[in-house]
Amino acid sequence: MADEKPQFLTVGAGSEARDIAWRLSDGARDRPLLVWLGGYRSDMKGTKALELESFARDHGLACLRLDYSGHGESGGEFRDGTISRWLDEALAVIAHTGFKRLILIGSSMGGWIALRAVAELRKSKTATVEGMALIAPAPDFTIDLIEPSLGEKERRELAEKGYFEEHSEYSPEPNIFTAKLMEDGRANQVLTGIIETGCPVHILQGMNDPDVPWRHAMKLVEHLPADDVVISLVKDGDHRLSRPEDLALMRRALKALLPAEHG
């Protein structure tokens, strides 16, 4: 259950070692594992993550939730975080569970990490992604959403201090964006050509999202020409998409992604 203590997996060695917190709920090992990939500064105890675990329990599926380094209950410094680093941690925990069939659920930045994860898993052939649900996905957000809006002050702070801060609507603490994160984002760009996931993709996107404009989700769809893609635009939906009606929509999307024999 959600209040049980997490397990920890050490990822990296030496000064790069960090203990990643994760929780795996019980479920059939011959069915797909539902994997929650959270957003920037979010954690595995959020409303949608817990709803996913509830959905998994209702359908006899296992559910994996984890906190990236510098997030939630995991070790490591948030300022050391990059897409590459958090991707490595997610892949390490997934591999540790031993599941070979996966459905990835990525929220906001987690949508970017999910798209990178499916590419890495297709290369390594260590597990098969059978479906993806992307909620207000923010692939390439450092390049497409942050960089164009930077003012002279932020650019100077990135160059001189290595980071800049920005007011957060979701936390009393400001958001911190580091030069390391921005640079690494370029190495992980996905909106540069055709994205082949090899599985059905369902995108949920609020049209009143102040952080990830709905047109960004439409741009992602254009890069998924080879996949079976469904996009659900929620006219009055915000970035969180955590209202009861949003969670019900997420459940319907997940049910549609399940293999027919288990749906």
**35-39, 146-150, 166-170, 179-183: least confident range:** 166-170
Q: Provide the terminal-to-terminal Cα distance of the chain, rounded to the nearest Å.
A: 23
Query: Is 184 part of any domain?
Result: no
Position 197 in a domain = yes
Strands 33-37 and 229-234: unpaired
Q: How many domains are contained in the chain? A: 1
Rounded to whole angstroms, the Cα distance separating 112 from 222 reads 15
* Domain at 24, CATH number: 3.40.50.1820
Q: Residue 155 falls within a domain, yes or no?
A: no
User: Which amino acid does the sequence have at 86?
Assistant: W
Is residue 151 within 8 Å of residue 220, measured between CB atoms?
A: no
In a domain, 240, yes or no: yes
Within a domain: 44: yes
Report the DSSP pairing between strands 128-135 and 201-206: parallel
Position 84 in a domain: yes
Domain range for 26 is 7-139+193-257
Q: What is the pLDDT of residues 53-92, one digit of tens each?
A: 999 999 999 999 999 999 999 999 999 999 999 999 999 9
| Residue 144 covered by a domain | no
Cα angle 72, 236, 165 (rounded to 5 degrees) comes to 40
The answer as to whether 164 is a domain residue is: no
- CA–CA dist 117, 124 (Å, integer): 10
Identify the pLDDT of residue 89. 98
Give every CB contact of residue 256 below 8 A, 6+ residues apart in sequence: 200, 202, 230, 263
DSSP classification of residue 73: T
Chain centroid to CA 11: 18
For the ranges 110-114, 121-125, 168-172, 208-212, which has the lowest average pLDDT?
A: 168-172
